[in-house]
Structure 1
Amino acid sequence: MNRPTPAADRPTISVVIPVKNDARLLARCLAALAAQTVTADEIIVVDNGSTDASATVALEAGAVVVPCAHLGIPAAAATGYDAASGDLILRLDADCIPEATWIAEMRAAFAARADVSVFTGGARFIDGPSALRTLLAAVYLATYTAFGAPALGHLPVFGSNLGFRRSAWRSIRTTAHRSDAELHDDLDLSYHFGEHHRIRALPAARMGISMRPFASGRGFARRMWRGVRTVVVHWPADLPPVRWQRLLRRRLRHHGAALPATPSGRVRR
């Protein structure tokens, strides 16, 4: 007689997509989500003040549309996370195209690593000069990691390809900066998730992303300024030496608590 699979092995999945005036690319993204080998239990499109057909496109695709009047990606994304009912919350952007196994890879990773609360995936460019797409995507992510990791003391998350447990979001939802449109929301999430949760890379969960944000020097400079500003906003409590020492002490305490004791009472290492 077959035993039913425990509910913990079948986590429900919510996908969150913030959008503002991106109806055409949103339709493409939603079509890619409909073609997943494992489909989401719900797709939440956060309408951040769109004046085009973004909300209509989302509704016609079967998504839940949640309005967010406070402009900016941090507010829109947080509104979507709050509305999500799934055990796992996956995040991408309206101009992204997830590979067909994206949700399946995320779900499998969480099932295999109960100790990990956040997985962040990789990316490839789907537009721009075709000969440079792979190289430029690798340089972009490497630059982001090289900037973020020393400030954080751990891997930063990439919001265009991100998955986390809803319980992890609920633990940081009141401390994350969600109302400042000029913060880099990926870095801000990294600060708050990394304080108490384990973040790991998931290269197998691949995502096609647009090169649009880097189409102009001004746009690129603004993203860089937001990144620097986000780091500074977390000071002095998260000055790198202060944060590194705090996280190290916490990890050592956790490691010591997890080590089994020998019959003599000593901790086995």
Structure 2
Amino acid sequence: MNTLSVVVPVLNDAEHLAVLLDLLARQTRVPDEIIVVDNGSTDNSAHWAEAAGARVIHQPLPGILAAAAAGYEAATGEVIIRCDADTRPPSDWVHRINEHFTRSEKLGAVTGPGRFYDMPGIIGASASFFYVAAYFLGIGGAVARVPLWGSNMAFRREIWPGVREQLDLRSLGIHDDLEFTCKLEPGTITRFDRKLLVGAAGRIFSRQGGFRDSVGVALRTLQLNGAAAGVRERWRMRLGL
């Protein structure tokens, strides 16, 4: 059986975090540890985390890339699960992740989609579908693999050192999950499970210019990793041609 660590980077996310920690406590397979990385919060995020029994570490270096990396470094589990404070996992989420890694020893990482729980009816459903399609198909095509999504992803701890040595933790204005994806070895198997569904806050749509800004950050991340100009080469390596 795998040992499982959950890593949650936070910055003034106390209200969201309290809900998430309650949902993690109700999992059918409770994680072995929960690590909350405080990236300079001025609210009571750390208080909520400690009250819920989570391990709190502080990362003074700004940016979600540095915060997430600090959590991965501190994690002791054989499988590291990453989500955001506003993630809303169903009760079997951790169990389902564990099953993936139990069934396949060659699996490096797994990820799944999200549904924007704070957007009503058809608007929320449409926005969720559009976002998932754009990210997993559009970005996936650019990086020639299933891209990991930070609100809902997990990976074997053994692949982390190879990623870590390539990261510049001072980098800002990039998507840390996409940066992680781009640093994976070509042979690392990443899997998308459409049933590994979580709720997520639709902040990129509720904030004016949010989606546009997110796309811009994604393109910058790809550009820094040479993916925008090297799609053909990435696919050649991926297919072993």
TM-score range for the pair, normalised by the shorter chain length: over 0.9
Identity of aligned residues (%): 37
Is 1:145 the counterpart of 2:130? The answer is: no
2 CA distance for matches of 1:144 and 1:238?
A: 18
| Mapping of residues 19-34 of structure 1, within 5 Å | 19-34=10-25
Counterpart residue number, 1:135:
126
Question: Structure 1 residues 193-202 or 162-171, which shifts more?
Answer: 193-202
2 CA distance for matches of 1:184 and 1:59?
A: 27
Q: Is the 8 A contact 1:44 1:80 kept in 2?
A: yes
The alpha-carbon deviation at position 229 of structure 1 amounts to: 0.4
Scaled by the length of structure 2, the TM-score of the pair is: 0.95
Is 1:68 the counterpart of 2:43? The answer is: no
The alpha-carbon deviation at position 134 of structure 1 amounts to: 2.4
Counterpart residue number, 2:85:
94
Counterpart residue number, 1:258:
none
Question: Structure 1 residues 180-189 or 59-68, which shifts more?
Answer: 180-189
Deviation track 1:194-230 (CA, whole Å, cap 9, x = no partner) reads: 5231101122222110012321232222211110001
Question: Structure 1 residues 50-59 or 112-121, which shifts more?
Answer: 112-121
One-letter identity of the residue aligned with 1:161: N
Scaled by the length of structure 1, the TM-score of the pair is: 0.85
Q: Is the 8 A contact 2:9 2:64 kept in 1?
A: yes
Question: In the superposition, relative to structure 1, how do residues 218 and 85 fare at CA in structure 2: closer, same or farther (>3 Å)?
Answer: same
One-letter identity of the residue aligned with 2:156: R
* Structure 1: gaps of 5 or more residues: 1-9, 253-269
Deviation track 1:124-183 (CA, whole Å, cap 9, x = no partner) reads: 111122332223211111011232122111111111000100001122111134321211
Deviation track 1:83-139 (CA, whole Å, cap 9, x = no partner) reads: 100000001100111000000000001111111110011111111223322232111
Q: Is the 8 A contact 1:75 1:181 kept in 2?
A: no
Higher-RCO chain (CA-CA 8 Å, sequence separation at least 6): 2
Counterpart residue number, 1:184:
175
2 CA distance for matches of 1:61 and 1:121?
A: 26
| Mapping of residues 47-66 of structure 1, within 5 Å | 47-66=38-57
1 CA distance for matches of 2:228 and 2:221?
A: 13
Question: In the superposition, relative to structure 1, how do residues 204 and 236 fare at CA in structure 2: closer, same or farther (>3 Å)?
Answer: closer
1:246 to 217, 223, 237: 237
Question: In the superposition, relative to structure 1, how do residues 222 and 194 fare at CA in structure 2: closer, same or farther (>3 Å)?
Answer: farther
One-letter identity of the residue aligned with 1:171: G
Q: Is the 8 A contact 1:124 1:209 kept in 2?
A: yes
Deviation track 1:53-102 (CA, whole Å, cap 9, x = no partner) reads: 00011000000001011111111111111110000000110011100000
> Size of the alignment, in residue pairs?
241
Question: Structure 1 residues 132-141 or 14-23, which shifts more?
Answer: 132-141
2 CA distance for matches of 1:154 and 1:238?
A: 16
Q: Is the 8 A contact 1:154 1:194 kept in 2?
A: no
1 CA distance for matches of 2:56 and 2:72?
A: 13
1 CA distance for matches of 2:136 and 2:192?
A: 11
* RMSD across aligned positions (CA): 1.6
One-letter identity of the residue aligned with 1:64: R
Counterpart residue number, 1:3:
none
* Structure 2: gaps of 5 or more residues: none
1 CA distance for matches of 2:162 and 2:187?
A: 9
Q: Is the 8 A contact 2:142 2:228 kept in 1?
A: no
Counterpart residue number, 1:213:
204
2 CA distance for matches of 1:215 and 1:15?
A: 27
| Mapping of residues 3-18 of structure 1, within 5 Å | 10-18=1-9
